[in-house]
């Protein structure tokens, strides 16, 4: 099912499972959190670590409370943490989904934006698409303004969501789709992806190097792709409070608490800024962090 950006599919799912319980990674992308909350969905956060969603925490969440309507996961280059679920954990997650008859939404807009390493199998590939819905979009690989996203849905859900979609917009915008089609037909997709990978890979490297130099006492994720690095400052640091002074210093980030993360965490985006801005931004941020770091 094609949607006007993949986020719109999340709105349809939230409508379909209104008032249900949805498991999400802690932290996770803030917009789905807001969409789900606005639809009266009970949100159950499930812990993650450097290897992605923690299967024991998932098992625990499945064993308590109302049966979840679905699990929302971003297994590759997660927004906001940049973390990727390990292959072993992917197998375990699929096993748990089957055992508990748990529908899963695998949101994967960043998977192709990989700078190094080998791609692990998607949950959708491992499971076969009966329980796992796969969503992605052309926002990160062509342009976000086109608003072309898509969902690969299990048959039953497809009919229900299509009915919701038709009563919302009749059809997703054809001009955006035609533009994507033409882009693909002309063979521009692969070269553009290479361009994106090379530009953004250099930005990721610049941010990792700057963090190494400027914030040696902090921890951060080391993503092999995507847009984001997850910064963990020492306990007691409050990145929400630090945001004002950071803005005055001309640097910004999103506090981890906005994504359901701990107060000492922050999402740093390297995708939209130049190499020099990245170096300077990290330098200015580091100057604001308590000296004990």
Ligand X SMILES: Cc1ncc(COP(=O)(O)O)c(C=O)c1O
Q: Among 4-12, 41-49, 202-210, 273-281, which window interacts with ligand X (CB under 6 A)?
A: 4-12
110: Cα separation from own chain's centroid: 8
Contact with ligand X (CB under 6 A) among 81, 84, 139, 239: 139
**How far apart are CB 150 and ligand X at their closest, in Å?**
9
Q: How far is the CB of 76 from ligand X (least distance, A)?
A: 10
Q: How far is the CB of 5 from ligand X (least distance, A)?
A: 3
Residue ranges in 99-118 that form contacts with ligand X under rule CB under 6 A: 107, 109
Angle (CA) 244 48 113, round 5°: 75
Query: Binder to ligand X among 40, 121, 128, 144 (CB under 6 A)?
Result: 144
150 contacts ligand X (rule: CB under 6 A): no
Pick one of 122, 133, 137, 141: the residue that binds ligand X (CB under 6 A): 137
Least CB distance to ligand X at residue 37 (A): 16
DSSP secondary structure string, 68-131?
PSEEEE--SS-TTT-----HHHHHHHHHHHHHHT--EEEE-SSTT-BSSS-PPPPHHHHH-SSS
Choice between 209 and 224, CB closer to ligand X: 224
For ligand X, the closer of residues 109 and 218 by Cβ is 109
Which among 86-94, 137-145, 207-215, 274-282 is the span making contact with ligand X, rule CB under 6 A?
137-145
DSSP per position, 259-293: GT--TTEEEEE-SSS-HHHHHHHHHHHHHHS-TT-
Instruction: Select the span of 3-11, 50-58, 85-93, 273-281 touching ligand X (CB under 6 A).
Output: 3-11
**Residues in a beta bridge with 132:** 104
Residue 260 token pair: 């359901």
Positions 64 through 93 that interact with ligand X (CB under 6 A): 74, 79
| Least distance to ligand X, CB of residue 86, Å | 19
Q: Which secondary structure element, helix H or strand E, spans residue 230, and what is its range?
A: strand 228-232
Contact positions with ligand X (CB under 6 A) in 165-194: none
Residue 179 is encoded by which pair of tokens? 């533009």
Closest distance to ligand X from the beta carbon of 78 (Å): 7
All residues at 6 or more sequence positions from 8 whose CB lies less than 8 Å from its CB, including other chains: 149, 172
DSSP labels, 18-55: TTSEEEEEES--HHHHHHHHHTTPEEEEEEEETTEE-H
Where do contacts with ligand X occur on this chain (CB under 6 A)?
5-7, 29, 74, 79, 107, 109, 137, 139, 144, 149
């Amino acid at each position: 099912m094609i949607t006007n950006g993949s986020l719109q599919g999340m709105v349809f799912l939230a409508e379909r499972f209104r008032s249900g319980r949805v498991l999400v990674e802690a932290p996770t992308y803030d917009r789905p959190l807001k969409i789900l909350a606005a639809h009266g969905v009970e949100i159950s956060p499930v812990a993650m670590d450097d290897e992605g969603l923690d299967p024991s925490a998932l098992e625990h969440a499945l064993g308590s409370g109302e049966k979840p309507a679905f699990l929302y996961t971003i297994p590759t280059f997660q927004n906001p943490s940049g973390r990727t679920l390990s292959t072993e954990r992917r197998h375990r997650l699929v096993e748990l989904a089957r055992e508990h008859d748990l529908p899963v939404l695998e949101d994967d807009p960043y998977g192709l934006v990989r700078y190094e390493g080998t791609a692990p199998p998607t949950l959708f590939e491992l499971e076969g698409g009966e329980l796992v819905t796969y969503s992605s979009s052309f926002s990160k690989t062509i342009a976000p303004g086109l608003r072309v996203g898509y969902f690969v849905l299990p048959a039953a859900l497809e009919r229900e969501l299509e009915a919701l979609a038709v009563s919302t917009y009749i059809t997703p915008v054809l001009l955006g789709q035609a533009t994507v089609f033409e882009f693909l037909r002309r063979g521009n997709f692969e070269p553009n992806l290479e361009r994106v990978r090379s530009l953004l890979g250099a930005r990721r490297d610049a941010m990792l190097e700057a963090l190494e130099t400027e914030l040696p006492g902090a921890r951060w994720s080391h993503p092999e792709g995507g847009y984001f690095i997850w910064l963990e400052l020492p306990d007691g640091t409050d990145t929400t409070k630090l945001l004002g002074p950071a803005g005055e210093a001309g640097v910004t980030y999103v506090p981890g608490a906005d994504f359901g993360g701990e107060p000492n965490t922050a999402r740093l985006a390297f995708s939209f800024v130049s190499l020099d801005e990245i170096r300077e931004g990290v330098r200015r941020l580091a100057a604001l962090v308590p000296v004990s770091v």
